Amino acid sequence: MQSINQLVEYPLLAEKQITLVIKREDLLHPNISGNKYRKLKYNLLAAKAENQHTILTFGGAYSNHIAATAYAAKEKGFKAIGIIRGEELENSWQTNETLKRAHDDGMRFRFISRSNYREKESQVFIDTLRNELGKFYLVPEGGTNDLAIKGCEEIITNDDKEFDVVCSSVGTGGTVSGLIKSSFPHQNVLGFSALKGDFLKDEINKMVNNTRWQLFTDYHFGGYAKTSEELILFINEFKEKTGIPLDPIYTGKMIFGLFDMVKRDTFAEGTKIMAVHTGGIQGIAGMNSVLKKKNLPLLHI
């Protein structure tokens, strides 16, 4: 399955003579959006080959990965278990759009404390879960593992050779690693971190085999799931002018950062840029409930 490339027409881009195309991975599947479709593809095939019947994974309250895994498991005939960060959600998840959707798609939840959640990569903790919940195929938080990267390598196709720069938002590093590995020799891959700090550089370096990439850490807006009025207004204006919705956790920050770099003449005239839309639109409803409580502008859906 392939996504479509959509040309972005914007006054700033025309002024700077920059070509920007959005690869609409968010349109790959109506319920398994963007990079989550890519990351789950080979993992579900592996689970089937191992004769597994249950997929277990981890995520937070508004996790795109939780929503996507729940639907993908249902579609492929698996049971699904979500280990959810935050015990306080156990009695209120029904009011959370993401978790309600995942539950409707058949996912069972186990809510755990944030301190226990930090043990999600511990073999002892995973063994405890297997003792309590039975046999399962484990997909890591965010879906990133070798099979996920293999799936993300398929995002770039021969039709994308014309681009000089490929951009992606970065959460766990799996998507951008796939892009780095499959990019053409003349292309530079730019990652825009949605998380605070530089630690993702080391994580990505463990997964890739070339140096034609950079990670930008100045556009996280305070850290994961953090946002601001400036970012919300930018996302709304971008949708109004292009018809392309962005999410405030990942793609909105990437496009904001990209436009800021264009303004600062980071790219030479005539540069052709492809930015990967990794999905995440399902999380807008949940984010709007948070923004409303903070008396901030709402995202246009």
pLDDT in tens, the chain (301 residues): 678 999 999 999 999 999 999 999 999 998 998 899 999 999 999 999 999 999 999 999 989 999 999 999 999 999 999 999 999 999 999 999 899 999 999 999 999 999 999 999 999 999 999 999 999 999 999 999 999 999 999 999 999 999 999 999 999 999 999 999 999 999 999 999 999 988 899 999 999 989 999 999 999 999 888 999 999 999 999 999 999 999 999 999 999 999 999 999 999 999 999 999 999 998 888 888 889 999 999 999 7
Cα distances from 291 to residues 99, 232, 240, 242, in angstroms, run: 18, 10, 19, 23
Q: What is the DSSP letter of 2?
A: -
For every residue of the chain, which 3-state class applies, written as one string?
CCCEEEECCCHHHHHHCCEEEEEEHHHCCCCCCCHHHHHHHHHHHHHHHCCCCEEEEEECCCCHHHHHHHHHHHHHCCEEEEEEECHHHHHCHHHCHHHHHHHHCCEEEEEECHHHHCCCCCHHHHHHHHHHHCCCEECCHHHCCHHHHHHHCCCCCHHHCCCCEEEEEECCCHHHHHHHHHCCCCCEEEEEECCCCCHHHHHHHHHCCCCCEEEECCCCCCCCCCCCHHHHHHHHHHHHHHCCCCCCCCHHHHHHHHHHHHHCCCCCCCCEEEEEECCCHHHHHHHHHHHHHCCCCCCCC
Query: d(Cα 285, Cα 287) in Å, to the nearest integer?
Result: 5
Q: Where do the H-state alpha helices sit in 82-122?
A: 97-104, 114-117
Q: What is the pTM of this model?
A: 0.94
Query: d(Cα 115, Cα 112) in Å, to the nearest integer?
Result: 8
3-state helix, strand and coil shares in percent for the chain, rounded to the nearest 5: 45, 20, 35
